[in-house]
Amino acid sequence: MNFKNFEKYLSTTIIFFITGGILVLAFGGYLGRASRGLSSSLVDTQTWFATRYIAIQDFLGAPRDITSLRQNNAELEAEVSRLQSQLIELQQKVGETEILAALLDFSRSNPESTYKGAAVVGRDPSPFLHYIIINRGSNDGILRGMPVVDSQGLIGRVDAVVADASRVQLITDPATAINVRVQNADTDAILIGSVTGDLSLDLISQEVTVEPGDVVLTSGLGGGYPPDLIIGQVLNTRKRDIELFQQASIQPAVDFARLEIVLVITNFRPIDIEPLVPVSNP
């Protein structure tokens, strides 16, 4: 019995050793072509199973991934829109700062006047009139007739005032008539607005040569505006021999479509020359 058991153990041990030896030889490459064929077929089989497994795993796991990707995408989109709104806010602030810096430069270069800054909050509801509404009124010391400028030049003058707001008549308004001076030609003229917002000069003497590019400034005559405020440049002239005066089109220095912040010249009082105008008695 004991001998039989010993034989059984011995044969098992021998089988183990033989199998182990074959495996060691096979993995050691000593069995040549037979070993390579076996190992490559094993690897191929494993690759086939591994590929199918990954494909099945992907298929089963995909919805979960899409959900998390969508979530991530939504979070990133929210982040992008937050950053975009921040960017817009900062761009607005940069724009405002640039305007304020330009206005500061303007006020420093014209120290003889005192200014009150105001934001443009509206325009006249009627397209026939060229007026803007600003957010400063009599509470801020604004009075009717005060000139309004920005860093580029003259905008208009205060036409009506309430406690916290004022209405400003732009120089493009059809009812505008301002005494101006063409700098290079050294001549006076009248600036008139129009319903389309175009500016033109009238009552320019026929003897004077006005060139495109000549700068137009307020002359100060009539007492309605202080002198030497920039209005724009001459675009072209219209001269006919049959007319008493020549006319000119003006390119305004100010972009009236994009008015945001303006300055009211508070130390200027318009002079009322009405009593000095001679009245003919019948």
Partner 1 sequence: MFRNLIAFPLLALVVIVQSAVISNITLLSGYADIMLVVLAAWSLKSEAHTAWLWAILGGGMVAFVSGIPWPIVIVGYLFVVYLSNLLRNRIWQAPLLALISVTFLGSLVMNLFVLVSLNLLGRPLPFGESIGLVILPSILLNLLFAVPVYVIIRDLAKWVNQLPEKE
Q: Which two tokens stand for residue 226?
A: 């202080």
| DSSP symbols for 84-134 | HHHHHHHHHHHHHHHHHHHHHHHHHH-TTS-EEEEEEEEE-SSTTS-EEEE
Minimum CB separation of residue 249 from partner 1 in Å reads 15
Name the residue nearer to partner 1 (CB basis): 177 or 235.
177
For 100-121, b/e burial (b = at least 16 CB within 10 A) is eeebeebbeeeeebebbbbebe
Distance, in Å, from the CA atom of 133 to the CA atom of 159, rounded to the nearest integer, reads 10
Contact residues for 169 (Cβ-Cβ < 8 A; gap 6+): 130, 131, 156, 157, 158, 159, 175, 176
95 binds partner 1 (CB under 8 A): no
What Cα–Cα distance (Å) separates residue 225 from each residue in 15, 71, 164, 268, 270? 119, 63, 23, 8, 7
Single out the residue of 63, 128, 207, 244 in contact with partner 1 (rule: CB under 8 A). 128
- Determine, following the binding rule CB under 8 A, whether residue 5 of this chain makes contact with partner 1: no
When the beta carbons of 145 and 220 are compared against partner 1, the nearer one is 145
If one asks whether residue 123 binds partner 1 (CB under 8 A), the answer comes out as yes
By CB under 8 A, residue 31 contacts partner 1: no
247 lines the binding site for partner 1 (CB under 8 A): no
Under the binding rule (CB under 8 A), the answer on residue 175 touching partner 1 is yes
Rg (C-alpha) for the chain, rounded Å, is: 44
Minimum distance of partner 1 from residue 167's CB (angstroms): 6
The reply on whether position 281 binds partner 1 by CB under 8 A is no
The yes or no reply on residue 63 touching partner 1 (CB under 8 A) is no
Sign of CA dihedral 94, 98, 103, 108: positive
Pairing, β 147-149 against β 131-134: unpaired
| Contact flag: residue 159 with partner 1 (CB under 8 A) | yes
By beta-carbon proximity to partner 1, the closer residue of 193 and 226 is 193
Please choose, out of 51-59, 110-118, 193-201, 266-274, the segment that lies near partner 1 by the rule CB under 8 A.
Answer: 193-201
261 binds partner 1 (CB under 8 A): no
Among 117, 167, 225, 265, binds partner 1 (CB under 8 A): 167
By the criterion CB under 8 A, which residues form the site for partner 1?
A: 121-129, 131, 133, 159-160, 167, 169, 174-175, 194-197
